[in-house]
Amino acid sequence: MKKAVISIFSLFLMYPAIAEVSPESKKALKPNRTAQTAAADTSKKAPVGEEKKETKEEGKVTFSGYIDTYYMANLNNPASRSNLGTSGLNEDGLPSVGNARAFDQKSGQFSLGLIQTKVAYTSDKLDAVADITFGPNSDIANYGNYVGPLGAGSTALAIKQAYLTYKFNEKFSVTAGQFGTHIGYEVIDAPVNYNYSLSNLFNNGPFYHVGAKAQYSFSEKAYLMAGVVNNIDNINDNNKAKAIISQFFFSPATNFNVYLNWIGSNEVSKDGAPAKGNFYSLFDLATTYQITESFFLGLNAAYGTNKTTDLTTNATSTPKWGGIAAYTNYAFTDKFGLGLRYEHFDNTKGDRAVRNGDGSGTSVNSFTVTANFTLADGHLLLKPEFRMDAYPKAPGAIQKFEDSDGNFTKSSQSTVGIHAIVKF
């Protein structure tokens, strides 16, 4: 699946959810991106004086989803109306399209984000989820599924998650299929994240996995997950070797959750052919702490390496990257809250998508302020947001971001947007 120190908000900690740590799946933390909550206790006690009888719960089908749309303005007023910047020069010597933002890539226009329709079946022994999405953000998140058996534009693009979970007992379960990654703090699902725009840690980590994983709950406050999956963010593996994923969750105090995550994968060589010795590794920490009913803190930190081998010289290199993001939000009322995020992402070795205008590695500091208005009995979320991304001045004439004349003269970028999300 896809591609991390601190400053003013060294407050640590992050926003409640993660994709497999979640509010949906990843969130006791987050619904598609980082840790899963410990398995719920479904046991039943017989009334006093009556014999305990074994009962079976009937399966239940639920339907949910969301729609999100937004309008964004870029204060640089880029000629192309793109928030992506550049990541270097192409073969013609012109700036190529970069990857400075994950989903909110367009400015100066109304944009559709994603439409989700999710069906889940749950019983005492079996869970099954079909999570189908459509729209621009769905295409971006499922980029690895673009080419399917019938060629470009595969219907696999619509599959965000499709998996089953068999519960052997209250403590042990096995999941197989395509599921959101356990790595990271934020998730693809717009209603779950407090901020609308996504962090560089999110954008430079995995999005989803195809494979199988097992989870054992030691208690309601600790569990261990481990699994075997295909390569990163791709429905089809690029070699015979499989990636290993793992996650350890524990709750050291009430409302304080910690997720320790890892993925290790033998990836392809630079020329696209499988090569012995290549190895991608990413360690990730995600924590959330609901200090009071109104005040929340969160933290996400990651450290990755990507060992590669030059097939001509057999020389190896192991570039490193990493970063940290601190989150906090405060609910002033049940209908209005304000959240802040500060992030530093270091890719000075140049392995990830965060690059200068000349293609060299760089780092970025990002600051985001997001207001949350909850309307229509919780079904409508309005999120006005300001975000600034600041890169070091590149040594050459080509900088990261475009100006109103179409020249790349800006090393920073600020955007202002209003985002509407309907969930059901």
Which two three-digit tokens encode residue 173? 């379960």
Q: In angstroms, rounded to a whole number, what is the distance separating the alpha carbons of residues 349 and 358? A: 14
State percent of the chain over pLDDT 90.
59
Amino acid at 322: G
| pTM of the predicted model as reported, rounded to 2 decimal places | 0.83
Q: CATH topology for 60-423? A: Porin (2.40.160)
**Are 160 and 132 within 8 A, CB to CB?**
yes
**Are 368 and 387 within 8 A, CB to CB?**
yes
Nearest to 179 by CA among 214, 140, 149: 214
pLDDT tens, position by position, 170-219: 999 999 999 999 999 999 999 999 999 999 999 998 999 999 999 999 99
Q: How far is CA 194 from the centre of its chain?
A: 13
The owner of tokens 């206790």 is: 41
- DSSP state, 47? P
**Are 185 and 296 within 8 A, CB to CB?**
no
- Of 181-185, 308-312, 377-381, the range with the lowest mean pLDDT is 308-312
Nearest to 213 by CA among 258, 260, 170, 180: 180
Nearest to 22 by CA among 9, 38, 33, 14: 33
The residue extents of the domains of the chain are 60-423
Which two three-digit tokens encode residue 183? 């790595």
The answer on pLDDT for 348 being more than 50 is yes
The answer on pLDDT for 16 being more than 60 is no
Residue 2 — very low, low, confident or very high, per pLDDT cuts 50/70/90? very low
**Are 15 and 194 within 8 A, CB to CB?**
yes
**Are 76 and 414 within 8 A, CB to CB?**
yes
Contacts of 315 (CB under 8 A, 6+ apart): 309
**Are 291 and 311 within 8 A, CB to CB?**
no
Does residue 270 or residue 192 have the better pLDDT?
192
pLDDT tens, position by position, 133-150: 998 888 888 766 665 555
Distances (CA, A) of 126 to 61, 115, 171, 259, 333: 12, 26, 14, 25, 38
Element (H, E) at 200: helix 200-203
Q: In angstroms, rounded to a whole number, what is the distance separating the alpha carbons of residues 321 and 345? A: 8
